[in-house]
Structure 1
Amino acid sequence: MPKIVVLPHAEYAPEGQTIDIQGKTTLCDALLANGVEIEHACGKVGACTTCHVVVTKGFESLSPMDENEEDMLDQAWGLQPTSRLSCQAIVGNADLTVEIPKYSINHAKENA
């Protein structure tokens, strides 16, 4: 059973968190199911970048990235070589360490 270590984030995981997951699920769904209320403004369809995370361990074990995700990530704040949209990244069998960036671009929230 893979573990997801969430590095401390002031808003979503102030103390950091370790999550045990079972079965195939997206990184976003795993975080949400365990109380890490990461933004997902588009309803988890890969049409925004609010659920952007940087995977610092286990990146290779995630499902492959499709062209739409690559295009959306180009708009993400703090993009890194191991960035993913958590709503599109399906967790494999390896342990993961993820960092939620300090900022996200949420046009719906910012223009409200």
Structure 2
Amino acid sequence: MPIIKILPHVEYCPQGAQVQAPAGTSICEALLDNGVNIEHACDMSAACTTCHVVVREGYASLGEPDETEEDLLDRAWGLEPQSRLSCQAILSQQDVTIEIPRYSINHAKENH
């Protein structure tokens, strides 16, 4: 099972974290299943950018983003060349390292 290394984030995992998830799982699902409560305002339907992450290692293993994801990412805060919507980034057999940006476009957070 691939490992997702999450770099420290002041709100979601101040010490950083590592979680395992089966290949075929989205990064967002894996984080939520392991207690890292990343924002996902659209309930993982690829309609917002609140689950935006930057893939620091293992980007190529996630497959190419589709046009819808690329269009949405254009609205994400802190966009980088290795940015992905975590709800659309599907794990393969390779480990990945991600960084959750400090801010998102979501002005009001809801408890999911």
- Same fold? TM cut 0.5: yes
Aligned-partner Cα distance in 2 for 1:2–1:78: 26
Cα-to-partner distance string for 1:39-76 (whole Å, 9 max, x where unaligned): 00011011100000000000000032100000000000
Quote the residue 2:48 is aligned against: 48
SS of equivalent residue, structure 1 residue 55: strand
What TM-score do the two structures reach when normalised by structure 1?
0.93
**Could you tell me which amino acid in structure 1 is paired with residue 5 of structure 2?**
V
Cα-to-partner distance string for 1:5-24 (whole Å, 9 max, x where unaligned): 00000000111001111231
Quote the residue 1:97 is aligned against: 97
Quote the residue 1:38 is aligned against: 38
1:26 equivalent to 2:26? Answer yes
SS of equivalent residue, structure 2 residue 40: coil
1:106 to partner: Cα distance: 1.1
1:14 equivalent to 2:14? Answer yes
Cα-to-partner distance string for 1:54-101 (whole Å, 9 max, x where unaligned): 000000000321000000000000000000000011111111000000
- What stretches of structure 2 of length at least 5 have no aligned partner? none
Aligned-partner Cα distance in 2 for 1:22–1:68: 25
Instruction: Note the aligned Cα RMSD (angstroms).
Output: 1.1
Q: Which runs of at least 4 in structure 1 moved beyond 3 Å after TM superposition?
A: none
Identity within the alignment, %: 60
Aligned length: 109
Quote the residue 1:71 is aligned against: 71
What TM-score do the two structures reach when normalised by structure 2?
0.93
- What stretches of structure 1 of length at least 5 have no aligned partner? none
**Could you tell me which amino acid in structure 1 is paired with residue 33 of structure 2?**
A
Quote the residue 1:5 is aligned against: 5
Aligned-partner Cα distance in 1 for 2:94–2:53: 17
**Could you tell me which amino acid in structure 1 is paired with residue 89 of structure 2?**
A
Aligned-partner Cα distance in 2 for 1:23–1:55: 16
Quote the residue 1:61 is aligned against: 61
